[in-house]
Amino acid sequence: METLQVALMSILGFTLCIAILYVATHARTRWQRIALSAFAALGLVLQGALWAYVTMMLKALSVGGSYWWLYAALTTSVAGTVWALVLLGTSLFSRRFTS
């Protein structure tokens, strides 16, 4: 049961970070976009680091089975982090100072 809870909490965390990024793309003010995208990027990087560590530990211990879900979590983390960094970069370096 604990493994299922960990997986569900991770899915919830990824979903919340992606939802925060979606809200950040529609934020009207620049500082809101910056704060939301930085927060989502931090969450995605931390989750990616956690699942990368779990993957490396399972491989080092030669645990059999499929790593498909772990690779899916890492891919989601990388894709979300790239999206967050692009949004953060465009928000920081935009020339519109009024928004």
Per-residue confidence (pLDDT) for residue 1, from 0 to 100: 44
3-state secondary structure the chain: CHHHHHHHHHHHHHHHHHHHHHHHHCCCCHHHHHHHHHHHHHHHHHHHHHHHHHHHHHHHCCCCCCCHHHHHHHHHHHHHHHHHHHHHHHHHCCCCCCC
Per-residue confidence (pLDDT) for residue 92, from 0 to 100: 84
Per-residue confidence (pLDDT) for residue 95, from 0 to 100: 65
Low-confidence ranges of the chain (pLDDT < 50): 1, 98-99
Per-residue confidence (pLDDT) for residue 96, from 0 to 100: 59
